[in-house]
Amino acid sequence: MTSTLEGQSAPAAPPVRPVREVRVAIIGSGFAGLGMAIALRRRGETDFVVLERAHDVGGTWRDNTYPGAACDVQSNLYSFSFAPNPDWGRSYSEQPEIQAYLQDVTDRFGVRDHCLFGAAVSTARWDDAARRWLVRTSAGEFRAQVLVSAAGALADPAHPNIPGLDTFAGTVMHSARWNASHDLSGERVAVIGTGASAVQLVPAIQPIVDTVTVYQRTPAWVVPRTDRPVPPLVRRLYRFVPGMQKAIRGALYLLREFLVIGMAKRRRFLTPVGRLARAHLHRQVRDPKLRRALTPDYTIGCKRILISNDWFPAISAPNAELVTAGIAEVRPGSIVTTDGVERPTDTIVLATGFHVTDLPIAEKICGRDGRTLADVWSAGMVSNRSATVAGFPNLFLLVGPNVGVGHTSMVYMIESQVAYVDDALRTMDAEGLEVLETTPEAQAAYRDLIAKKSEGTVWLAGGCASWYLDKHGHNTTLWPDFTFRFRKLTRKLDRENYVGTPAGSADEEVAA
């Protein structure tokens, strides 16, 4: 304690935490952040930190704990290629198993000691004079030569702007911020949204609630889910014949790539998938009125294709209701739709998705001229190779613009991106570069490539509105081609598209 003039004690100032110097700061510890950290460890780099705002690793798989949360890509494919898990309990794993897998790889590859939990990034600014990123977090400040943003696209829940929602007297929770201590048994529950999260959580809660009312704005195409437990014999085979699990992974990968032909090249190849979805709906929903309400009017694949065997039975149950009228307002104890019907409600579940085309992390990262990524991206997200942005030296984005996929494992794309960043770091080491920055020309060329590849795809021309497109109607989220083409494009750093500044030089820059 220090003394004041009046002789009273003043509270001691909080200790000043020194700024920590690191070579690489990674934001986020989901699949992408962990994948990057593991790659660094595997090549002997130890001078890095993983800044995680929560208190555990896992990203979206840590946060999405709603009942029924599971992956809609088979686990043999939705896992790191270098860390196969012979013990998956089901072909499509549920959230707790995926989260346990991520915790396991964190320990197995020695990156837990590099994770700083409770470190929410408030700003990251490029200091051009020092050639370092200054990263402010709730757990102290860091000066990093390289910043890798792996904050994720499904990280920040989107809350709908519905009149009166803030006046609701009952419980409101987003699917990505589930409150497990709130017991839904016997309640009248409203679920807003019919995306991938809603079709998983509605069947899980329908048997225990009094009523579940689902507010649907746009119906989704749904295909059957071929999920089953993995028999112990198969698990033993995976363990002792790893090549077998690898072969299955390869087969799953190829099968899923076929969908790209229909989605991005020749639309007619989607016809059988559309038939499958229609047949699934007809088999599972007998009531013609309900069936009509659940039938989309856009081409399958335009929005994410959902997979479920229990969504249609759940919404057909006697205690379930599908409401297609828009929501006019929320009152303290009810929801009123535009047709004037008021439905008493105890709990509202917002299954309304995430901020994907307006990533909140973009507001926190300031580049060379002091503008944020969000400013630079105000007309739409742009990048070179989905990884770097002109004016943001030594910044690498994982799961940023145009890396999303609607048909296969995001982990495949993440591994491609990690290899690219890894090669960039190697190049910096090999050439003695302190700074690496992509050119505006490379960025414009990549934007044009994406625009050209996106022309005529189901995402642009399929007749739907989806979170794949930004507010200008541009595809800034999806990779619009085969994923092996993305891998080829990002296998090595395209050095010719970067300007490098050697360590120790004044301002001299070295083009490729």
Q: Give residues in contact with ligand N01 (CB under 6 A).
A: 70-72, 154, 160, 162, 175, 192-198, 200, 215, 217-218, 304, 351-354, 467
Quote the CA–CA distance of 347 and 326 in Å, as a whole number: 18
Quote the CA–CA distance of 395 and 438 in Å, as a whole number: 10
Q: Give me the least distance between CB of 283 and ligand N01, in Å please.
A: 22
Q: Give me the least distance between CB of 460 and ligand N01, in Å please.
A: 16
Cβ contact 125:144 at 8 Å:
no
Partnered with residue 10 across adjacent β-strands are 2
Q: Give me the least distance between CB of 240 and ligand N01, in Å please.
A: 29
Cβ contact 214:352 at 8 Å:
no
Q: Give me the least distance between CB of 300 and ligand N01, in Å please.
A: 14
- SS3 of residue 314 by DSSP: helix
Nearer to ligand N01, 49 or 307 (CB): 307
Cβ contact 337:328 at 8 Å:
yes
11, containing H or E segment? none
Quote the CA–CA distance of 459 and 457 in Å, as a whole number: 5
CA contacts within 13 A on the Cβ side of 204: 15
Q: Give me the least distance between CB of 180 and ligand N01, in Å please.
A: 17
Cβ contact 398:421 at 8 Å:
yes
Nearer to ligand N01, 221 or 420 (CB): 221
Nearer to ligand N01, 193 or 203 (CB): 193
What is the 3-state secondary structure of 167-205?
Answer: HCCCEEEEHHHCCCCCCCCCCEEEEECCCHHHHHHHHHH
320, containing H or E segment? strand 320-323
DSSP state letter for 177: G
Q: Give me the least distance between CB of 347 and ligand N01, in Å please.
A: 16
Residue 25, amino acid: A
Nearer to ligand N01, 146 or 405 (CB): 405
Q: Are strands 320-323 and 211-215 parallel, antiparallel or unpaired?
A: parallel
Q: Give me the least distance between CB of 215 and ligand N01, in Å please.
A: 6
Cβ contact 89:224 at 8 Å:
no
Q: Give me the least distance between CB of 405 and ligand N01, in Å please.
A: 9
Partnered with residue 90 across adjacent β-strands are 229
Q: Give me the least distance between CB of 464 and ligand N01, in Å please.
A: 8
Cβ contact 19:141 at 8 Å:
yes
Main-chain phi, psi angles of 380, to 5 degrees: 125, 145
Q: Give me the least distance between CB of 218 and ligand N01, in Å please.
A: 3
Q: Give me the least distance between CB of 262 and ligand N01, in Å please.
A: 18
Nearer to ligand N01, 111 or 199 (CB): 199
DSSP state letter for 52: E
Q: Give me the least distance between CB of 217 and ligand N01, in Å please.
A: 3
Nearer to ligand N01, 162 or 264 (CB): 162
Contacts of 396 (CB under 8 A, 6+ apart): 146, 147, 148, 149, 387, 388, 420, 421, 424
For residue 409 the two structure tokens come to: 């494992």
DSSP state letter for 129: T
Nearer to ligand N01, 300 or 376 (CB): 300
Nearer to ligand N01, 93 or 384 (CB): 93
Nearer to ligand N01, 376 or 458 (CB): 458
Strand ranges (E), 80-170: 115-117, 121-127, 132-137, 140-149
CA-based nearest residue to 254, from 143, 449, 408, 400: 408
Q: Can you list the alpha helix ranges (DSSP code H) found in 111-195?
A: none
